[in-house]
Amino acid sequence: MVQTSTAPLPSRAYVGTGQRRIDGVSKVTGQARYAAEFPADGLLYGHVVSGGALANGMIERIDASAAEAAEGVVRVYTHENRPRQPWFDSTYQDQVAPPGIPFRPLKDAKIVYSGQPVALVVARSLEVAAYAASLIEITYREEPFRTDLAAEQSNAYVPPEKRAGIEPPPPDRGDVDRALAEAPVKVEASYFVAAEHHNPMETHASTVVWNDGKLTVYDKIQGVVASKEYLTEVFGLIADDVQVISPFVGGAFGVGLRPQYQLFLATMAALDLQRSVRVTLTRDQMFTLTYRPHTIQHLALGADRDGRLTAIRHEAVAATSTFEDYQEVVVNWSGLGYRCPNVAFDYKLAKLHTYTPSDMRAPGAATGVYGLECAMDELAHAAGIDPLELRLKNYAEEDANTGNPFTSKQLRECYRQGAERFGWSRRSAAPRSMREGRELIGWGMATGFWEASMQQTSARAILSADGRLEVATATADIGTGTYTILAQIAADAMGVPIEQVDVKIGDSSLPASPLEGGSWTAASAGSAVEKACFGLREQLFHHARAMEGSPLANEVLERITFAGGRMAVANDPSRSVVVADVMAALGLEKLAAEETAKPDQDAQENYSAYTHAAIFAEVRVDEELNVVRVTRIVNAVAAGRILNLKTARSQILGGVVFGIGMALEEQSELDHRFGRFMNHNIAEYHIPVNADVRDIDVIFVEEHDDKVSPIGVKGLGEIGIVGTAAAIANAIFHATGKRVRDLPITPDKLLRDGDDGVSSGMARAG
């Protein structure tokens, strides 16, 4: 079904083991350089001036004279004096731009969201640029704006133009109204997911090095090709004149998928001044970038007395901006998660005067599966059935949204191993039935789903006479472990020690690669690197076989193994040649192969590929203070082949911690008077700290998949978060008997009397 190489499968000396990161030493010694850390002669510093406390209107007057007069200031750019830019909005569309008109920094006097960049001060030092930015005086004319999602629900609409790569909800199935009316057991509730900002530890930055009209750009981006394409389009540069480099990315989680405004501003200034310019955003400016859209969901579930689902209705209204229709997959999960004959979907957007939301770790799924999995827990409670038992009763053997079978689905095994490790069978069913001292103890669980996909990616492999192997592709490592898994794959493919492998990524001059996102990088870049190495093997074999007196004479590639720097006949290792000898005999300094790996069309059309997880959570809730502690998580994941046990586990740990933040802490709060996210710093926007995280146990369930990608990998970047917030919310219900349907679940919400979900969720939805 998938692309297969004619070569035998490589030996697996490294793949599947726990390898230390090959870039680890550079990170722990401070040698790894990030976008704002590349030096340049005569570097100038740009500081962005963020717009005022309004979300719609016009700049009436902007006075930069005091800033321009400050010693050390080189230039102040505003919409009034910026260099000429392309006219058409479509020029500014990046690889993942949703339908609409992209935001164009300094385009004109119009204010379209609160905090948008309105000027750039360029100075000889960081401090002078920041100081001079404070001297700029701006007066605005305010126009009405709307930032309250709850109030805008009535204006919600089905997006007229689909976002590329995002499946709209499938057609409804059966008759949900009737099935719900007839269901002996049913639950219906609304759930609210708060807006969240990605907040990678590294703020966005671009260092643009100007060299005689050619640019070397160090950018914080999840894929250098996206930045390069944006720059060549917007600034009319020829491809050879721009190189984008991003060897290390200090976290991104989706906020680095679209080129952000600092890239535009730094490049504009560098080209205009013919100088090198760096623009670094401040932490508070990170809240003027994109965010996970706050979303109101409504779910209704019906079941028979045995707990078999008869109806699911899943509706969602999500925030978007006034200028783009950002879309993600929120409700579709309810059509494929469980077997159910009657399903109805609705997914709408509501326009707010904010910046456009965008993908944030498990976009759509983190939101939609939270709703579905909490509703399933409510159904289990209503039906008097164990929550895990309810999932097993409704286990989906095929993807009912498409009618396709799954490429693989070891979710049952996730449930079994996760439950066993957690000790789920010892759970007492009734809420408030477990306690220790003043703490109520709750156990909850949920299922996680994420799409497993692969994108076309090219890679190059070069073998040198000295035995070093270099593999290269433009892709990124945003902390995911890309460097290391590519080295493992290459070392195994060529049968060389991993220490002999050099991995080059994060450079637009390397073979093309898509953005790092969607959990597809390991499958995509990994398959491309393996294919390039197979190309090398083939060349080496043909050279070796043709040598005079070759021990491989009359052999075929399928019977040759590569190990220990030798090519040998399988089952007859006495017939072998040393790879280096072949290179020497031919006088080859280097041997190179470049290949492109593509997803298999047939598998894509006839199968559904998903990653699955079962998450079990224990919480302890102080009965008087209502403080929640997540004391234990077990996450059992089925994700196809696991390449590196160390980095794979870290990916899941990270996803779970993101889920803890989503469940208990994270919320970007809009002040509707100013249309601004007001807790725009990480003292007031809470992300989990070390003391918030206790035991997290990760299980990788064995899963063989020969269809999902050539190397059998499904990807791990998102699955760790999906379902985690639901498992925690369900555990809190089990501990306290209170169902809070409004994330994050902060102590004040638990303090309220009674079952407060729907109304409080709606009241807070803005």
Partner 1 sequence: MQATETDPRPGNGTGEPGPIPVVLTINGTERRLEVEPWTTLLDLLRERLDLTGSKKGCDHGQCGACTVLVDDRRVNACLTLAVMLDGASVTTVEGLAQDGQLHPVQDAFVEHDAFQCGYCTPGQICSAVGLLKEGRARSDDEIRELMSGNLCRCGAYVNIVAAVRQVMDGTGAGR
CB 580 within 8 A of CB 467: yes
In the structure encoding, which two tokens stand for residue 149, read together? 């999602």
| Nearer to partner 1 (CB atom), residue 535 or residue 655 | 655
In the structure encoding, which two tokens stand for residue 527, read together? 């398959």
Binding of partner 1 by 636 (CB under 8 A): no
Total site size for partner 1, rule CB under 8 A: 61
Contact region for partner 1 (CB under 8 A) — 74-82, 231-239, 302-310, 680-688?
Answer: 680-688
Least separation in angstroms between CB 703 and partner 1:
22
Among 409, 543, 649, 714, the residue binding partner 1 under the rule CB under 8 A is 649
Task: Specify which residues 414 forms β-bridges with.
Answer: none
Binding of partner 1 by 69 (CB under 8 A): no
Least separation in angstroms between CB 615 and partner 1:
15
Give the integer Cα–Cα distance in Å for 37 and 722: 34
The residue whose two tokens read 């009319």 is 236
| Nearer to partner 1 (CB atom), residue 21 or residue 294 | 21
Contact region for partner 1 (CB under 8 A) — 140-148, 245-253, 264-272, 397-405?
Answer: 245-253
Strand positions, DSSP E, 555-707: 560-563, 566-569, 572-578, 590-597, 610-622, 628-638, 670-671, 676-677, 695-700
Binding of partner 1 by 31 (CB under 8 A): yes
Binding of partner 1 by 451 (CB under 8 A): no
- H-assigned helices in 499-612: 521-546, 579-585, 601-606
Query: Looking only at residues 255 through 314 of this chain, which bind partner 1 when binding is defined by CB under 8 A?
Result: 280, 282-283
Give the integer Cα–Cα distance in Å for 448 and 450: 7
The residue whose two tokens read 């159904």 is 379
Among 1, 13, 66, 126, the residue binding partner 1 under the rule CB under 8 A is 126
Q: Edge-to-edge strand order for the sheet containing 469-472?
A: 501-504, 469-472, 457-464, 590-597
Contact region for partner 1 (CB under 8 A) — 340-348, 422-430, 534-542, 684-692?
Answer: 684-692
Least separation in angstroms between CB 148 and partner 1:
28
Q: Of 159, 539, 502, which is closest to residue 351 (Cα–Cα)?
A: 159
Binding of partner 1 by 248 (CB under 8 A): yes
Binding of partner 1 by 209 (CB under 8 A): no
Give the integer Cα–Cα distance in Å for 363 and 283: 22
Least separation in angstroms between CB 229 and partner 1:
24
Among 9, 69, 164, 201, the residue binding partner 1 under the rule CB under 8 A is 201
Least separation in angstroms between CB 473 and partner 1:
19
Q: Of 538, 528, 521, 517, which is closest to residue 458 (Cα–Cα)?
A: 528
In the structure encoding, which two tokens stand for residue 446, read together? 């949920």
Q: Read off φ and ψ for residue 596, nearest 5 degrees.
A: -120, 125
Largest CA distance in the chain: 87
Active site residue 589: no
Give the integer Cα–Cα distance in Å for 289 and 357: 8
Give the integer Cα–Cα distance in Å for 210 and 328: 38
- H-assigned helices in 556-714: 579-585, 601-606, 645-664
Query: Looking only at residues 546 through 575 of this chain, which bind partner 1 when binding is defined by CB under 8 A?
Result: none
Query: Looking only at residues 459 through 478 of this chain, which bind partner 1 when binding is defined by CB under 8 A?
Result: 478
Among 546, 570, 689, 763, the residue binding partner 1 under the rule CB under 8 A is 689
Sign of CA dihedral 744, 745, 749, 751: negative
Contact region for partner 1 (CB under 8 A) — 32-40, 171-179, 296-304, 747-755?
Answer: 32-40
Cα 203 from chain centre: 17
> Which one from 315, 328, 516, 718 is the annotated catalytic residue?
718
Least separation in angstroms between CB 123 and partner 1:
12
Binding of partner 1 by 681 (CB under 8 A): yes
Among 150, 512, 588, 682, the residue binding partner 1 under the rule CB under 8 A is 682
Binding of partner 1 by 691 (CB under 8 A): yes
State the Cα angle at 641 between 638 and 645, rounded to 5°: 85
Catalytic residues: 718
Residues forming the site for partner 1 (CB under 8 A): 20-21, 23-25, 27-34, 36-37, 39, 125-127, 199-203, 248-253, 280, 282-283, 478-481, 646-647, 649-651, 653-658, 681-683, 687-696
